[in-house]
């Protein structure tokens, strides 16, 4: 057999192996599936709020104020592929901050702690209790003009081997009504060492300004995510209430992987740059980066903002730990209200940080009478 034939055979075998892994023979979650022209190795299933008791179209669940309701209990091995919900306070919005006061919790494989714990609106991509029609690769909202309620969707794949439980926690002063779909794919064989989806929410209200010398090496950065284990960081959204005034976007992003010292290998050049904008923020929402809440009423960049950046095409892998940070202003010179949602996959399964009490989730704009016009500016 000639050398050329042997080389061709090696190339063919390597190609087959790659295809087998891509099509799921490895037992892992193929990131590019499902492809509609290929045979699927799962059964599509759904849990929803459809009315199973009465012959009327009341297809919703009421979560009383102060209560916690289970939305789903799913056996594995499965992959949650889509979550949709529409929420309000019994046919209207009585509490304009109910999307910050209601939170989503997801538990994996029978553990007694959640690995997803985040205010409901922030999970779907917009902070400050706001809603607005926008679209991205992982999340979208669809809102009627002039309303403070609407449809919220997630397209994040969440694999698990044994069990998933999903809860809505209502810590507002009014009842919450929720319509929902939770779509998932049921597999026959367990996945081999999958990374599990995690999501956490943090806030610093206000951020503490420091001197140039104290801030220039990132010690006082705002921390978006800090976790131990191995996995992939997939992105975040960042909500800012600009109290200092003027342009807020010169804070560099710094991502520290596996205990590296300053400067980290991933060191950015400015907040707007990390969110893939330039010379300020633009009212754009692209698949992997955008401004999901753009304050059209701003005066020199003041008021409320939410931006997102997804590392779906460029995940940041870690084998020991990761610390995702960003400066609050150049060298941490600013004092504004920051909050953020982090998305990542990892092993082992860990607990998401406990949320602050409701008051600690609300920015200072809701306590200042001289800014009522910004509070009421719900639409772009």
Inside any domain, residue 287? yes
pLDDT at 118 over 50: yes
Question: What mean pLDDT do residues 242-256 have?
Answer: 94
Q: Is-contact 266 260, C-beta < 8 A?
A: no
CATH number, domain of 331, equals 2.60.120.1390
Question: Using 50, 70 and 90 to split pLDDT, how confident is the model at 317?
Answer: very high
Residue 188 lies in a domain: yes
Domain presence at residue 102: yes
Tell me the C-alpha distance between 341 and 179, whole Å.
23
Find the mean pLDDT for residues 68-77: 98
Has residue 16 got a pLDDT over 90?
Answer: no
Confidence of residue 76 (pLDDT cuts 50, 70, 90): very high
Instruction: Tell me the pTM.
Output: 0.88
CA-based nearest residue to 106, from 133, 80, 86: 80
Residue 149's CB is within 10 A of a number of other CB atoms, namely: 18
pLDDT, tens digit (0-9, with 9 covering 90-100), for 166-177: 999 999 999 999
* Selection from 242, 247, 256 nearest residue 325 by Cα: 256
What domain count does the chain have?
A: 1
**What is the domain range of residue 176?**
42-375
pLDDT mean over 277-299: 96
Confidence of residue 366 (pLDDT cuts 50, 70, 90): low
**Helix or strand holding residue 372 (H, E):** helix 372-375
pLDDT at 142 over 80: yes
pLDDT, position 8:
53
Is pLDDT of 209 > 50?
A: yes
Task: Select the more confidently predicted residue: 210 or 4.
Answer: 210
pLDDT at 121 over 50: yes
Read off the pLDDT of residues 151-196 as tens digits, 9 standing for 90 and up.
999 999 999 999 999 999 999 999 999 999 999 999 999 999 999 9
Tell me, what's the pLDDT at 215?
A: 63
For residue 299, is pLDDT > 70?
A: yes
Please name the residues in contact with 144: beta carbons below 8 A apart, sequence gap of 6 or more: 150
pLDDT at 12 over 50: no
For residue 272, the tally of other CB atoms under 10 A from its CB is: 20
The answer to whether residue 12 sits within a structural domain is no
Strands of 253-257's sheet in order across = 222-228, 321-326, 253-257, 266-267
Q: Tell me whether residue 144 is in a domain.
A: yes
Banded model confidence at residue 34, pLDDT cuts 50, 70, 90: low
pLDDT for residue 294 is more than 90: yes
Per-residue pLDDT, averaged over 203-231, amounts to 89
CA pair distance 150, 93, nearest whole angstrom: 11
Instruction: Tell me, yes or no, whether 215 lies in a domain.
Output: yes
The Cα 305–Cα 53 span in angstroms is 43
**Number of CB atoms found within 10 A of residue 4's CB:** 8
Per-residue pLDDT averaged across 30-54, rounded?
Answer: 81
What integer best gives the mean pLDDT of the chain? 88
Q: Is residue 25 part of a domain?
A: no
Query: Percentage of the chain with pLDDT > 70?
Result: 86
Question: How does 336-359 read in b/e, with b if 16+ C-beta sit within 10 Å?
Answer: bbbbbbbbbbbeebbebeebeeee
Q: What is the CA radius of gyration of the chain?
A: 22
User: What pLDDT shows up at residue 214?
Assistant: 65
Residue 270 has pLDDT above 70, yes or no: yes
In a domain, 26, yes or no: no
């Amino acid at each position: 057999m000639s050398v050329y034939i042997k080389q061709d055979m090696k190339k063919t075998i390597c190609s087959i192996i790659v295809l087998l892994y891509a099509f799921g023979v490895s037992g892992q979650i193929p990131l590019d599936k499902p492809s509609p022209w290929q045979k699927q190795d799962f059964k599509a299933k759904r849990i929803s709020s459809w009315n199973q008791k009465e012959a009327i179209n009341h297809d919703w669940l009421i979560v009383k104020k102060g209560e916690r309701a289970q939305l789903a209990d799913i056996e594995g091995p499965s992959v949650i592929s889509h979550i949709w919900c529409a929420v309000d306070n019994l046919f209207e919005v009585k509490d304009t901050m109910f999307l910050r006061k209601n939170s989503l919790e997801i538990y994996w494989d029978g553990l007694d702690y959640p690995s997803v714990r985040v205010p409901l609106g922030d999970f779907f991509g917009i902070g400050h209790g706001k809603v607005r029609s926008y679209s991205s690769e992982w999340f979208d909202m669809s809102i009627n003009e002039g309303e403070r309620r609407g449809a919220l969707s997630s397209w994040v794949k969440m694999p698990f081997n044994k069990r998933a439980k999903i809860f809505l926690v209502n810590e507002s002063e009014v009842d919450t009504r929720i319509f929902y779909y939770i779509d998932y794919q049921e597999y026959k064989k367990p996945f081999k060492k999958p990374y599990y989806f995690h999501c956490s929410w943090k806030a610093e209200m206000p951020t503490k300004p420091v001197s140039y010398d104290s801030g220039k090496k990132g010690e006082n950065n705002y921390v978006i995510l800090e976790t131990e284990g191995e996995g992939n960081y997939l992105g975040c959204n960042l909500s800012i209430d600009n109290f200092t005034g003027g342009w807020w976007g010169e804070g560099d992003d710094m991502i520290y992987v596996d205990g590296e010292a300053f400067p980290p290998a991933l060191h950015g050049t400015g907040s707007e740059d990390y969110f893939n904008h330039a010379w300020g923020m633009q009212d754009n929402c692209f698949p992997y980066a955008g401004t999901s809440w753009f304050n059209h009423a701003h005066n020199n960049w003041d008021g409320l903002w939410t931006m997102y950046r997804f590392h779906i095409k460029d995940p940041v892998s870690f084998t020991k730990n990761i610390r995702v940070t960003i400066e609050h202003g150049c060298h941490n010179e600013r004092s504004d209200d920051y909050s953020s949602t982090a998305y990542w996959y990892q092993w082992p399964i860990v607990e998401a940080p406990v949320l602050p009490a409701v008051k600690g989730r609300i920015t200072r704009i809701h306590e200042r009478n001289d800014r009522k016009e910004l509070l009421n500016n719900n639409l772009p």
